[in-house]
Structure 1
């Protein structure tokens, strides 16, 4: 093979490898940024937009003994406003009817539920799977609830003498979520003194 032909082959080889690598280096940061933005918009949807001024997902809370009575905490994040804790978002996992259910549970500094969002579920479509629908009214029943304003016995379905309606056709799913939210509130209450240490209460 002539030297010129060899040079051309080598050049084509270098370009065929170099161009994809260069392209990957160019687009990877943008993809990562877009992915992070999507995660933030999903995970922080449980918090009112004007209720914090930090980046909660960059403010992870240390979680000791994350295995709870009915669920397990996979993570916790602090939302602050003017340097003061405004809320905590707990990432919880519990066992549903068909598989694990992952929840995001936002709790204000006074121990009240702000909102609950289903991050992942494998429940039966049309039944327990309805929890994944954005803004499902059943999840709204937890807003404002706390250990202080909801008795221990109330954390159950009405059919079990509690205060919560059942998600139609999904009693196992409903009970799992109720227990996971109560677990999260208990955990918050037991760690609030540590998380709010040094902050003045209104």
Structure 2
């Protein structure tokens, strides 16, 4: 008969331990959340320096998020957008795009001037293979550099593909899937900008 109280006591201790563990985990997540958010903002701020010319804006684009309607595109999804202004006038939009790379989600920052021309593309986060697809994050890599100054007028929709797919863009060596995903996501972003240019340049801010 003495086993039953011991069993109940053991179960109560186990339940108490589970509650303490869950509570500690939630408290730690709550404690870390602001630091994680700050780190993500810092990463985006650094990336913005590479997709927007330094003298092309005088505001803080990350403080001017845009409301994006119908963000699910053909090959990618737009997470958010930011408006860059100079002297109070819209100069560029930066779109945070997410697509699927070879090894998982691939996030890009895509800078587009108010005239619809690409200013720069930067890999924000990725899980691509070191020495292959991870090359998209290397400064000055030819794939990303090849987007600068392109738009849908000088580069028609049919040309937005890898050269092996009868398009205009050279892939990273050994990274066909990653390169194709990036080209398609950038093309998506340009199409989206062209279709929503008036709203984006007007700066409909997300509250």
What TM-score does the superposition give when structure 1 sets the normalisation length? 0.78
Distance between the aligned counterparts of 2:56 and 2:117, measured in 1?
Answer: 14
Q: 2:163 aligns with which of 158, 182, 189?
A: 158
Structure 1: give runs of 5+ residues left out of the alignment.
Answer: 1-28
Which residue of 2 is the match for residue 99 of structure 1? 104
Question: What is the SS of the residue equivalent to 1:187?
Answer: helix
Instruction: Provide Cα deviations, 1:108-164, integer angstroms capped at 9, x if missing partner.
Output: 001010000000111111111111112222210001111111111101111111111
3-state SS, counterpart of residue 192 of structure 1:
helix
SS of residue paired to 2:66: coil
What is aligned with 1:71? 76
Of 125, 129, 134 in structure 1, the residue corresponding to residue 134 of structure 2 is: 129
- In 1, the alpha carbon distance for the partners of 2:35 and 2:130 equals 34
Distance 1:91 1:35, change over 3 A: closer
List gaps (5 residues or longer) in structure 2.
Answer: 1-33
Give the structure 1 partner of residue 53 of structure 2: 48
Pairing 1:141–2:146 present: yes
Question: Is the 8 Å Cα contact of residues 43 and 124 (structure 2) preserved in structure 1?
Answer: no
Q: d(CA) in 1 for partners of 2:65 and 2:37? A: 20
Deviating beyond 2 angstroms after TM superposition, the runs of 4 or more aligned structure 1 residues are 29-39, 41-45, 195-198
Number of aligned positions between the proteins: 170
Name the SS for the 2:146 alignment partner: helix
- SS of the counterpart of 1:162? coil
Greater Cα offset, 107-116 or 130-139 = 130-139
Q: Higher RCO, 1 or 2 (CA under 8 Å, sep at least 6)?
A: 2
What pairs up with 1:1-202 in 2 under 5 angstroms? 39-197=44-202
Q: 1:163 to 1:32 in 2, by over 3 A?
A: closer
The two structures, once aligned, show a CA RMSD in angstroms of 2.2
TM-score of the pair, normalised by structure 2 = 0.76
**Aligned-partner Cα distance in 1 for 2:93–2:198:** 13
Aligned to 2:18: none
